[in-house]
């Protein structure tokens, strides 16, 4: 069994309208699902991805309205790395970010910057033949667009403590330094550690967890394997768009293993993904009340007028 790279990355935002503006308008991802936090339906859970809402391209945000910015530290993912197709794509992004007043650093095949709440992001020229997972955007030619995740970097106080679990239980393949490749039949990505600057503080602009992708038929077996290694996984939780288990790896980073499918078209058509508020079945009777309390978000049309 091999995990198929990253399924999604989930972070925290204190400002959902600004978050939609940045990820959908500036970065050109598609808002593929506008739903609520399954533990607190009065706040959003927003999902951005490629055109099809694919695992491997999906960054999601829990909204905590007005939350203060946090700071990544030991046991937290501190940077999300996306692929782009070429050095020309990096040129394009340097210009586009500068036009938005966003500072960036270019260094050997990559561009680094931060989202409006301080979450570190990086675009790297792809070094493999994985299918590019691209969203359509009127100002971003498909050849220059983001192509899905390359990997995530986390802070660890002691990467050696995680090695046996990552390699022996999760079948991560060691690469240079404190870096592993997580590659299945169709797709892969990397997981890497940097030395921790100290303890972190959760909050806006920090990553909550990273989810690795499992084919539907292997999900229970992954849970058994994590449990056998003392990883303490949760029960399988039905997230409606996928099924999930959660556990902390030895460095403290919250991992999820999520199924590839059933996917975001389970409750709305592909053409209009993300336009209406989607509610899981157990919250559908609350629709009127929730639509009254959720933060108003810019529509696709309103975003287009800001161009």
Taking the complex as a whole, the smallest distance from the CB of residue 10 to Zn ion amounts, in Å, to: 4
- Token readout for 210 is 């990273």
> How many residues touch Zn ion (CB under 5 A)?
3
Start-to-end CA distance of the chain, whole Å, equals 45
Instruction: In angstroms, give the least distance from the CB of 301 to Zn ion.
Output: 29
Give the single-character DSSP code of 238: E
* Piece of the chain touching Zn ion by CB under 5 A; list 5-13, 39-47, 62-70, 226-234: 5-13
| Per-residue interface string for the shown chain with Zn ion, residues 198-227, x marking contact by CB under 5 A | -------------x----------------
Sequence-ordered list of residues with C-beta below 8 angstroms from that of 193, at least 6 positions apart, any chain: 153, 154, 155, 156, 159, 162, 178, 179, 251
Write the Ramachandran bin of 203: left for phi over 0, alpha for psi from -120 to 50, otherwise beta.
left
Nearer to Zn ion, 180 or 241 (CB): 241
Does residue 249 touch Zn ion according to CB under 5 A? no
Nearer to Zn ion by C-beta: 63 or 256?
256
Under the binding rule (CB under 5 A), the answer on residue 115 touching Zn ion is no
With respect to Zn ion, which residue has the nearer C-beta, 10 or 147?
Answer: 10
We find the least distance from the C-beta atom of residue 154 to Zn ion, in angstroms, to be 15
Residue 303's beta-bridge partner residues?
none
Cis peptide bond upstream of 262, omega within 30: yes
Tell me the C-alpha distance between 192 and 16, whole Å. Answer: 29
| 54 is an interface residue for Zn ion by CB under 5 A | no
Please tell me the chain's helix, strand, coil percentages from 3-state DSSP, rounded to the nearest 5. 25, 35, 40
Choosing from 3, 4, 6, 10, the residue that interacts with Zn ion (CB under 5 A) is: 10
Distance CA 9, CA 17 (A): 19
Q: How far is the CB of 121 from Zn ion (least distance, A)?
A: 18
Return the residue of 256, 259, 260, 274 that touches Zn ion, per CB under 5 A.
256
Q: Which of 8-16, 25-33, 150-158, 196-204 is the region at the interface with Zn ion (rule: CB under 5 A)?
A: 8-16
Which residues contact residue 18 at a Cβ distance below 8 angstroms, ignoring those fewer than 6 apart? 116, 117
Question: Residues interacting with Zn ion, by CB under 5 A?
Answer: 10, 211, 256
């Amino acid at each position: 069994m091999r995990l198929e790279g990253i399924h999604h990355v989930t972070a925290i935002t204190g400002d959902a309208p600004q978050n939609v503006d940045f990820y959908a308008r500036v970065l050109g991802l598609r808002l593929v699902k506008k739903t609520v936090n399954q533990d607190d339906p009065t706040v959003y859970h927003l999902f951005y991805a490629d055109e099809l809402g694919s695992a491997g391209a999906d960054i999601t945000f829990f909204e905590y309205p007005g939350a203060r910015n946090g700071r990544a530290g030991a046991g937290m993912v501190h940077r999300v790395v996306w692929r782009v197709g070429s050095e020309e794509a990096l040129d394009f992004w340097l210009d586009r970010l500068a036009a938005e007043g966003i500072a960036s650093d270019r260094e050997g095949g990559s561009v680094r910057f931060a989202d409006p709440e301080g979450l570190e992001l990086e675009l790297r020229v792809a070094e493999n033949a994985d299918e590019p997972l691209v969203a359509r955007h009127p100002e971003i030619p498909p050849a220059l667009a983001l192509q899905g995740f390359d990997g995530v970097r986390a802070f660890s106080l002691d990467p050696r403590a995680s090695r046996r679990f990552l390699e022996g239980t999760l079948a991560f393949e060691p690469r240079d330094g404190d870096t592993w490749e997580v590659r299945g039949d169709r797709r892969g990505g990397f997981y890497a550690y940097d030395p921790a600057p100290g303890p972190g503080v959760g909050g806006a602009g920090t990553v909550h967890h990273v989810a690795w992708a499992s084919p539907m038929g292997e999900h229970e077996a992954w849970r058994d394997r994590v449990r056998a290694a003392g990883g303490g996984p949760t029960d399988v939780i039905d997230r409606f768009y996928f099924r999930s288990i959660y556990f902390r790896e030895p460095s403290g980073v919250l991992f999820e293993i999520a199924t590839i499918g059933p996917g975001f078209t389970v409750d709305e058509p592909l053409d209009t993904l993300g336009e209406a508020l989607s509610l899981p079945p157990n919250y559908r009777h609350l629709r009127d009340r929730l639509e009254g309390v959720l933060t108003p978000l810019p529509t696709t049309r309103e975003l287009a007028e800001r161009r």
